[in-house]
């Protein structure tokens, strides 16, 4: 019998190279509560999990959905930037980096790496850093 994962556990699985578990848990949460006022968090979680699975189109789609409900959600905006950078959509990624820097003016590659290294698998962190670098986030 499969155990249901909560949102926090789903995030853990996405950041620890087990994105399929996160996708499954978050899809189930969306089905169980389709009108959840915090549904944008499920969308952001799905964006993160799809990014970790290197499914960049899906990651960008879910990040955009989360941002349509919560435009200042920086973790979704980072996913959108990284996914679009890996898809070669550098103009869109660079536009969103400028938007990110309005929301978080001190963000740099160095700062992001330092803040994320304690909870994110190295492979996932490197995926983010490469995408953020391609999109033009300052080094720091």
Provide, rounded to the nearest whole percent, the portion of the chain with pLDDT above 70.
88
Where do the domains of the chain lie? Answer: 7-134
Architecture of domain 7-134: Alpha Horseshoe (1.25)
pLDDT tens per residue across span 98-138: 999 999 999 999 999 999 988 888 999 999 999 999 999 99
pLDDT computed for residue 3 by the predictor:
39
- CB-neighbour burial class of residue 46 (10 A; exposed 0-12, middle 13-18, buried 19+): buried
Torsion of CA 62, 68, 74, 78, to 10 degrees: 40
Higher pLDDT, 37 or 77: 77
Higher pLDDT, 39 or 99: 99
pLDDT computed for residue 12 by the predictor:
47
Q: Output the six-digit token pair for 87.
A: 């898809």
């Amino acid at each position: 019998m499969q155990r249901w994962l909560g949102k926090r556990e789903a995030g853990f699985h996405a950041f620890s190279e087990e994105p399929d578990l996160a996708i499954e848990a978050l899809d189930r949460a969306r089905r169980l509560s389709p009108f959840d006022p915090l549904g944008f968090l499920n969308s952001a979680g799905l964006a993160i999990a799809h990014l970790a699975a290197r499914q960049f189109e899906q990651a960008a789609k879910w990040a955009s959905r989360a941002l349509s409900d919560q435009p200042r959600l920086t973790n979704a905006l980072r996913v959108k930037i990284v996914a679009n950078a890996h898809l070669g959509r550098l103009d869109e990624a660079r536009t969103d980096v400028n938007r990110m820097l309005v929301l978080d003016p001190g963000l740099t590659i160095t700062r992001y790496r330092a803040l994320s290294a304690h909870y994110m698998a190295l492979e996932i962190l490197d995926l983010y850093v490469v995408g953020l670098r391609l999109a033009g986030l300052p080094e720091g």
